[in-house]
Amino acid sequence: MADTFFMLQVKVVPGSSRDQVAGRWGEGIKVRVAAPPDKGRANQAVIQILAQWLGVKPAQVKLIRGQTNPLKTFRISGLDESILRNQLALLD
């Protein structure tokens, strides 16, 4: 069986008051993190938030594009498409 994966566009807002998936943003989502954008701490926080939000392990969430940019692309592997659709629908 081939590894299924999805690409997810994420707008990251570091230095927020709390960690949360804040809603839709364009074709992707907006994530707020308390961590500062220093030494990858905000990126690691986003990985943890996305993993919890989607019910996957953090190792299944990989930052593909946007290491130092607030607009990022994450690759989520081993996720059922219906779970992603349902989570996105909850944000609408």
Domain extent for 12: 5-91
**How is residue 34 written in tokens?**
């308390």
- The structural domain count of the chain equals 1
Q: CB of 11 within 8 A of CB of 25?
A: yes
The DSSP bridge pattern shows strands 61-65 and 71-77 to be antiparallel
**Distance in angstroms (rounded) separating the CA atoms of residues 36 and 43:** 9
pLDDT at 2: 53
CATH number at residue 83: 3.30.1200.10
Task: State pTM to two decimals.
Answer: 0.94
pLDDT tens digit string along 13-72?
999 999 999 999 999 999 999 999 999 999 999 999 999 999 999 999 999 999 999 999
* Contact present, 54 and 78 (Cβ < 8 Å): no
Average pLDDT over residues 64-88: 95
CA distance 87 to 1: 25
Given a cut of 50, is residue 1 above it in pLDDT? no
